[in-house]
Chain A
Amino acid sequence: MSFFKEPLVQFVVLGLALYVFINILAPDNLVQNDTNTIQVNDDRLVEYLQFQRKSFEPAKALQMLNKMPAGERDRLIDNYVRDEALYREALSYGLDDNDEIIRRRLIQKMEYIAQGFYDNVPALEEADLRAHFDKNIDQYKIDPSITFTHVFFPAENDDQQVVLRQAEQELSQLNRKKVDFSEAGKYGKRFLYNLNYVERTPAFVSSHFGQAFSQNIFTLKDLAQWQGPIRSEYGYHLVNIKSTSPARTPDLEEVAAKVLADTQREQHRDLKSAAIDKIVERYQRVSQQEKHISAPGSE
C-alpha cells in the first residue's frame, strides 16, 4: 500500500492518533496542565503573609494566620492567587526571556551559590595568618606612644622665670617624697586638657601641648622619677612617664584578631572567584574578532 508509505499521510495519521489520545482517552491530569492549578496551603500563606507584613517570624505569622477572621483570610488568599496567576501568566508569555533584570538576578543567585562553596572552607592555620601578616606588614605597623602624667605650672600671664623656679623647686619635692603617678592630681594647677595620657601618639600629644613639648617628652628615658620642667604652649610641666613604646612592627599575636579577619576576607574572596572561574572554564570562548582574523588564513 504505497498510500501509507507517503510521509505526509503518516504524519497526518500520527497527528490524528495523538489528538484522539490526548483529548478523548487520556487521563485528566495530562490535559489539566499543572500551570493552571494554584495550590493554596498554610505554608504558602505564611510565607506570603511575612512579606506582606515585612516581618520575618514564621511562628508568629502562622499564629496570626490561624487567628485571622475568615473574611480577612479570604482576602489574603485572593491576593496570593492573583499574584501567583499574574506571575505564571508572565512566564507563559515568555516575559522572562531576554529580561536583563531577570538575567542579572540569576547571575546574582549563582554568585550566592558560589559563595556557598566556602561554607566548608579549609580551616586557617597559624601559618596562613603569618603568611598574610608578612605579606601585608605595612598595614599593621604601630606608631610610637607614651603613657604619662604631669604637674602643671601655668606661665601665660606670670613671670616666666618665677614660674620656672617654682617648677624646679616642686620637682625636687616630688622626687624626694617619691610622689606616685596616681597622686599627680594633688599638685600644681589644673591643665585645660587631660591629667593623664594613656598610650598616646606624638601627633596627639603635640595637639594638646605643642610640637616642642611632644618632641621633648618622647626623648626622655628615665621612667623611675619625675622629670622636667618641660615647656608647653601653656606653661611648664613636670612629667612622670609610666611607659613608652617606640614605633614598631607588632608581633602577629598582638594583632591576631585583625589579621584573622583580613585573612578570612581574602580567603573568601579567593574561594569565590575560584568557584566562578571553574564555571567559566567549562565554556569555550569564541571571539568574533578571531574568526575574522582566522578566516583569510584558512582560505
Chain B
Amino acid sequence: MKKLILSILLISGFSVAIAQDVGADARSVEVSETTEATELTETTEPTQVLWGDTHLHTSYSFDAFLNQNQSADPDTAYRWAKGLPVIHPYSRARVQIETPLDFLVVSDHAELMGVIRAVANDTADIGSLGFLSDIKRWFTTRAILNAIENETGKGIFVKILPVTGEQPGSDPVKDPANELAVGAFGDTVKTETTAWHEIVDAAERHNQPGRFTSLVGWEWSSIPTGANLHRVVVSPDGGEKSKKYLPYGSDQSQYPEDLWSWFEQTNKDTGARFLSIPHNSNISKGYMFADTTLKGESITAAYAKQRMKWEPITEITQIKGDSETHPSLSPDDEFAGFENYPFYIQQTWEEYLPKKGDFVRSALRRGLEIEQNVGANPYKFGVIGSTDSHTGIASAEENNFWGKMAKDSTPETKLDGLVRDGGDSANGWHRAAQGLAAVWAKENTREEIFAAFQRKETYATTGPRMKVRFFAGWNFVEEDLQARDFVERAYQKGVPMGGDLIAPQQAENGPQFLIRVTKDPLEANLDRVQMIKGWVDAAGKSQEKIFNVAWSGERELSADGALPAVGNTVDAGVPTYNNSIGSGELSVMWADPEFDASQRAFYYVRALQIPTPRHSLYDAVALQQEATDVAPAVIQERAYTSPIWYAPQ
C-alpha cells in the first residue's frame, strides 16, 4: 500500500510541485479503530479561530526592494508563515516565527509590481520610450542601483512619494499638486505580468487545504497628495482565474469607485472574486471614511451598497499605527492613545491632524448617521489586523519583530529616520510590532476564510493570539456562558461578531451579549474586557461610550464606571514581565443598561492584556540605552472585534 502511494506520487508529482512544509494549527486526524474510522478533532465547536496576515509585501514591491529587501520573495514569506526558518533580507540572520500562521495573503503593490526588482537584477522586459526617455530611464536605473548598493534606497523612495495638496479638503485626485510618480520605466506590462504569475504560482504551491491557506492578492496604492487610501485586494480563486487578469493599480485610477467597477467587470469576464481591505485610515487626512465620496459628492444609498459589497472589512491595526481611535476624537477613552502614528507618507512635512474620517470608531459612528439619513450604511464593516511588513516576514511579536522595511530590523538601523524639513520623521521605534487577522471559519480553506471575511466574523489583535468569542441575542441565560456547549448555544440563539441584531416583535428587555476571552497560551494574562457602544441619539447625532464589563482580580468599578489599572509587572532592565496579575480567561453575559430600542447602535469588544515590554524596549536594552520619549517602554496589547449592529424595526 505504501509502495503504491509512493509510485503514484512519482508519476503524478512531475506536473505539480508539491509543497508540504510544516503544517499549521488547525488539525484533525483519522483515527482508525478496529473496524471504523472516526474523525478526531480538537474542538467540537462549529467554528475555529484561524490566524493570518492579509497584508504582506515581498521583494516584488518597489518600496520593499528600495529599502533593502532584495531577497525575501513570496516563497520566503510562505515558509516563514508556515514556521520554517528563513534568512532575513537585511541582516541575513536566520529568523523563525514562534507559532506558525494558518493563512497568508502576499499583497505586493500593483504599481511597478516586480519592476524595481527586475531592473536591479537586469531581468526587466520593458519597451522603448523613445530616445530621450530611454536615456532618462538609463540614468534612473543607474541611480537606483547605486542607491541600493549604498543603502540609500530610502532617499529615492522618498522622491517618488506625493507632496502636500494645494487645496486640502477638496478632491485630492484633482489637486494640482497630485502627480503620479510611476512612468519613468515606460511599458512595464511584460515585467509585471511575469511578476504576477510568479506571485500566483507561489501561492498555488503553498496552499494546503485544511492545514495552510494562501490567498492571492495585491495592494492598490492610491495616495493622492499624501492622503493614504490604500487597499489590499484579496481573491479566493486559484491560479487559472488569477492569471486571466493583471492587478489593478492606482496608476489606472486613484478613485476607489473605479477599483470596485473593475472588480465588477473582471468578475464578469473571468469569474474571479474579490474584496478590498482599506488600511492606514489613520493617515488618510480624513478621506478614508469621509462624509462625502472622494469626488466630494454626497453619499447615496447606491454608493453605500456598492462600497459594502466590496469592502466588508477594514484593517484596524498594523505596523504604521493603530486606527481604532485617537485621544482627540475619544477624549473619555483612557486607552485611546495607543500606537498613534502621526506621520503622513509624503516628501514634504505636514502637521498631523486627526480627523473623523481617519479612524474606525468615528467611521462606525458616521456610518450610523448616514444610514439614518439615506437608508444605507457605507461604513458597516468588520475589522482585522495585519502587519504591512515589507520584509516578506509577517512578524507581530514584540520580542521577535523584524521591521516594517528590511532595513529597520536591527536596533541600530531602526533609529535611522527620514530627515525632512519642518518636523519629526518616523523611524523604526515609532512603528508598532502588530497586528494579526483572526477569522472564525468552519475550516482552513480559501473558500471558508473568504466567506468569513464577507460575513465579517473576524477580529483584530495587536499580535497576541487571544481567543475572543462575542455573541448577541435576545434569549441568552447566565447558564449558557458556563455550559460546555456554550458556542453551539450561542450560534443557535444569537448572532456572532459581524452580525445584525434584529429586534423581535415584542422585545421586553434589551439584548444580552455573551463574551469570552481566553489568553494566548504563550503570552501575557488579560487585564479587562470592554464593550464599546456607538449610537445615534434623538437629534440624529452619534455618541460613544465605553463599558468595563469583565476584569481580573478584586477591583471595583467607581461610580462613573472607571476601573483601577491592573498594575505592571514589567522589569524594564531585562526586559521581562510575569503573569502574577491578570486572568487567563475573562467571560461575561452583559446587558446594556442604557439600551433604547428606538436607537440605531453598534457594539464591539475590546480586550486588553496586562502591560508587557514594547519592541523598542528590547532594542534599548540591547543598545544599553534608556528608552526614549519616541516610544513608550510598555504597552497593553489588545484585541478588537467586528461590531454587532442593532437597528430598530
Contact = CB atoms under 8 A, between A and B. Distances in A.
Contact of B518 (A87, A105, A193, A197): A193
A258 B18 CA distance: 7
Given A198-B40, A261-B18, A54 B585 contact: no
A90 B128 contact: yes
B122 A104 contact: yes
A253 interface: yes
Interface string B12-32: 011001111100000111010
Given A193-B521, A199-B29, A260 B10 contact: yes
B3 interface: yes
B352 interface: no
A273 B28 CA distance: 42
Contact of B6 (A101, A242, A253, A261): A253
A207 B522 contact: yes
A51 B10 contact: no
A124 B10 contact: yes
A51 B40 contact: no
A97 to B, nearest CB: 14
Nearest to A181: B40
Interface in A242-261: 242-243, 251-253, 255-258, 260-261
B485 to A, nearest CB: 9
Nearest to B123: A108
B484 A192 contact: no
B193 A54 contact: yes
B584 A261 contact: no
B41 A56 contact: no
Contacts of A55: 244-246
Given A126-B10, A256-B9, A234 B584 contact: yes
Contact of B141 (A87, A101, A182, A252): A101
Contacts of B246: 54-55
Contacts of B122: 100-101, 103-105, 108
B29 A104 contact: no
Contact size range, B:
35 or more
B621 interface: no
B130 interface: yes
A195 B42 contact: yes
B127 interface: yes
Contacts of A207: 521-522
Nearest to B205: A261
A270 interface: no
A194 B29 CA distance: 15
A198 B17 contact: no
Contact of B42 (A198, A251, A255, A256): A198
B214 to A, nearest CB: 16
B40 A86 contact: no
A196 interface: yes
A193 B130 CA distance: 65
A195 B41 CA distance: 9
B424 interface: no
Contacts of A51: 187, 189-190
A190 B482 contact: yes
Contact of A264 (B6, B17, B29, B130): B17
B268 interface: no
Contact of A198 (B10, B41, B127, B193): B41
Contact of B27 (A54, A101, A198, A253): A198
A123 interface: yes
A74 interface: no
B507 interface: no
Given A195-B43, A196-B42, A256 B5 contact: yes
A144 interface: no
A192 B518 contact: yes
Contacts of A257: 9, 13, 18, 20
A261 B20 contact: yes
Contact of A56 (B2, B193, B521): B193
A185 B484 contact: yes
Nearest to B519: A192
A261 B585 contact: no
Interface in A127-184: 129, 147, 182
Contacts of B41: 196, 198
A114 B123 CA distance: 16
B156 to A, nearest CB: 18
Contacts of B506: none
A242 B6 CA distance: 28
Listed from nearest, the 5 A-B pairs whose CB atoms lie closest are A104-B122, A54-B246, A253-B2, A207-B521, A192-B585
Given A52-B189, A105-B125, A198-B41, 16 more contacts: A51-B187, A55-B245, A87-B128, A90-B131, A101-B141, A121-B14, A123-B10, A123-B14, A182-B38, A195-B43, A196-B41, A196-B43, A198-B42, A253-B3, A253-B6, A257-B13
18 contacts: A51-B190, A54-B245, A54-B246, A83-B127, A101-B141, A108-B122, A123-B10, A126-B6, A186-B484, A190-B482, A196-B43, A198-B42, A251-B2, A256-B5, A256-B9, A257-B18, A260-B9, A261-B19
Interface of B: 2-3, 5-7, 9-10, 13-14, 17-21, 27-29, 31, 38, 40-44, 121-125, 127-128, 130-131, 134, 138, 141, 187, 189-190, 192-193, 243-246, 482, 484, 486, 518-519, 521-522, 584-585
